[in-house]
Structure 1
Amino acid sequence: MKDSELQIDRSCHVLYSKTCKKEIQSKIALHYPEAEREVIWEKVQRQYVDFLSNWRKDLGGKRNFHNGAGGTYDCIAIMSYYVVCKPVTSFREIEEIEENLILPSFRKLKFVNCNKPFWKKLMHMAFLRAKAGCDKWHDYEMTVAPYEKNKPIYYEFTACPAAEFAIRNGLTEIMPALCNVDFAAMELLRARLVRTTTCANGCKCDYTICGDQDPYLKEHPEYRDENGYRRNRECCFKHTVTGIILLFCFFTQWV
C-alpha cells in the first residue's frame, strides 16, 4: 500500500519517517520470504493507522520537532511492527531499529567531549532550548535544573507521549528497547547517562549527564534490570554509610 493511501488525519498526525520505514522493511526481509514481505508491511501500515485512529491529536504534527526521525510517531510505527511481527522479532532487533534512527546524528558530533566545561555548558543550553519546545507543545513535560559547574547536568520528563502510548496499548514490555538508545547517544559525546527510572515504569524519566571520566559514575554503576532497561544504581557509598549509621544506632541503644 502506498503511504499516500493511508487513512490518517494529516492535519494533526504525521507519517513515520522514510528512515523508519526502511528499517522496518529491512527487518521484515530478515524473517519472511520475498513473496510475503509486502503483505506483512501492509499489516504494519494498517496497524499504524489503527493506532492513530484513537490517538492524541494535540502533538503538533510536522511542526513539532519531536515528531521527526526516531521521535514519537516513529516509536508508534516500531510498536506497530512489534505487534504484527512479535512471533519473529526480538527485543534486540527493536533496540537496533531505534538506534539506527537516533544514533547517526550523534555520530556526526564525535568532536564533542562532555568532559570539557565548554561542551558541558553547551549541552545544558541545548536542553534548555529543547525545554522551550516541550513547553510549546506540552507533549513531553520537561524540567531542567540550573547549570552548576562542578556537578552533572540534570533534567527530567514527567510526561512522555511514547510511554503514554505504550501504557495505553499494553506495550510497555517493548519500551526498554526504545529508551535504552539514550545511553548509547550520550556515549558518542564522551558523556554518560545516569538513570534510575522512566515514564514507562515510574512517574518520571530522569537524566543525569556527566563526562565519561567523571568520578560520579563510580557511585552509580549501570546494570540491566529484569525488563531490559539500562539503569543505574543509587550511590553505593551512601547506602553503605547509612547502613553503618543504622547499625551503630542499634548497638548503642542496647549497650
Structure 2
Amino acid sequence: MEDKDLVFDREHHILYSKQCKKEILSKISLHYSDEETEKFFTKVQLQYVDFLKDFRTDLGGKKNFHNGAGGNYDCIALFSYYVVCKDKTSIAEIEEMEGNLFLPAFKMLKFVDCNKPIYKKLMYKSFAVSKKKCDKWNDFDMNVAPYKKDEPIYYEFTKCPIAEFAKEHNLLEVMPAMCNPDYTAMELIHARLVRKTTCSNGSVCDYTICGDKDEYLKQHEEYIDEEGYRRNK
C-alpha cells in the first residue's frame, strides 16, 4: 500500500519518517520471503493507522522536534512492526532499529567531549532550550536543574507520550528498546547517562549526565534489570 493512501487524521498526525520505513522494510525482508514482505509491511501500515486513532492529536506534527527520526511517530511505527511481526522480531531488534533512527545525529557530534567544561555548558544550554520546546508542545513534562560547574547535569521527564502509549496498549515490554539508546547517545559524545527509573517503569525518567571520566560514575554502576532496561545503582 502506498503511504499516500493511508487514511488517518493528517491535520493532527504525521507519517513515520522515511528512515523508519526503510528500517521496517529491511527487517521484514530478513524475516519473510520477498513475496511476503509487501503483505506484512501493509499490515504494519494498517496497524500504524489503527494506533493513531486514539493517539494524542496535540503533538505539533512536523513542527515539533520530538516528531523527527526516532521520535514519537517513529516509535508508534516500531510498535506497529512489533505487534504485526511479534513471532519473528525481538526487543533487541527493536532497540537496534530505534538506535539506527535516533543516534545518527549524535554520531555527527563525535568531536564533542563532555569532559571539557565548554561542551558540558553547551550541553546544558541545549537541554534548557529543549525544556522550552517541551513546554510549548506539552508533550514531555521536563524539569532542568540549575547548572552547577562541578556537578553532573540533571534533568527529568515526568510525562512521556510514548510511555503513556505503551501503557494504554499493554506494550510496556517494548519500552526498554525505546529508552536504552539514550545511553548510547551519551557515549557517542564522551558522556555517560546515569538513570534509575523511566516514565515507563516508574514515575520519572531521570537523566544525570557527566563526562565519561567523571568520578561520579564510580558511585553508580550500570546494570541491566530483569525487564531489559539499562539502569544505574
Pairwise TM-score range, normalised by the shorter structure = over 0.9
Residue 54 of structure 1 and its aligned partner are, at CA, apart by: 1.4
SS at match of 2:102: helix
SS at match of 2:154: strand
1:189 counterpart residue number: 189
Query: Whole-Å Cα distance in 2 between the matches of residues 85 and 183 of structure 1?
Result: 26
Letter in 1 for 2:36: E
Instruction: Give the TM-score, by structure 1 length.
Output: 0.91
Give me the identity figure in percent.
65
1:132 counterpart residue number: 132
Query: Whole-Å Cα distance in 1 between the matches of residues 54 and 94 of structure 2?
Result: 24
1:143 counterpart residue number: 143
Look at both structures and tell me which one has the larger radius of gyration over its CA atoms: 1
Query: Whole-Å Cα distance in 1 between the matches of residues 65 and 111 of structure 2?
Result: 24
Structure 2: tracts of 5 or more residues without a match: none
2:179 counterpart residue number: 179
Letter in 2 for 1:174: V
Q: Does 1:10 align with 2:4?
A: no
Query: Whole-Å Cα distance in 1 between the matches of residues 4 and 161 of structure 2?
Result: 25
Query: Whole-Å Cα distance in 1 between the matches of residues 17 and 123 of structure 2?
Result: 26
Query: Whole-Å Cα distance in 1 between the matches of residues 175 and 196 of structure 2?
Result: 15
Query: Whole-Å Cα distance in 2 between the matches of residues 76 and 102 of structure 1?
Result: 14
Residue 183 of structure 1 and its aligned partner are, at CA, apart by: 0.0
After superposing on structure 2, the runs of 4+ consecutive aligned residues of structure 1 that deviate more than 2 Å are: none
Query: Whole-Å Cα distance in 2 between the matches of residues 220 and 184 of structure 1?
Result: 17
The 5 Å alignment of 1:204-223 reads: 204-223=204-223
Query: Whole-Å Cα distance in 2 between the matches of residues 201 and 161 of structure 1?
Result: 14
Query: Whole-Å Cα distance in 1 between the matches of residues 159 and 23 of structure 2?
Result: 27
* Total equivalences in the alignment: 233
Query: Whole-Å Cα distance in 2 between the matches of residues 137 and 107 of structure 1?
Result: 27
Residue 63 of structure 1 and its aligned partner are, at CA, apart by: 1.2
Query: Whole-Å Cα distance in 1 between the matches of residues 8 and 153 of structure 2?
Result: 39
Query: Whole-Å Cα distance in 2 between the matches of residues 124 and 10 of structure 1?
Result: 35
Instruction: Give the TM-score, by structure 2 length.
Output: 0.99
Query: Whole-Å Cα distance in 2 between the matches of residues 34 and 15 of structure 1?
Result: 24
2:52 counterpart residue number: 52
Letter in 2 for 1:139: D
Residue 29 of structure 1 and its aligned partner are, at CA, apart by: 0.5
Deviations along 1:156-203, one digit per CA (max 9) or x if unpaired, are 000000101000000000000110000000000000000000000100
Q: Does 1:90 align with 2:84?
A: no
Structure 1: tracts of 5 or more residues without a match: 234-255
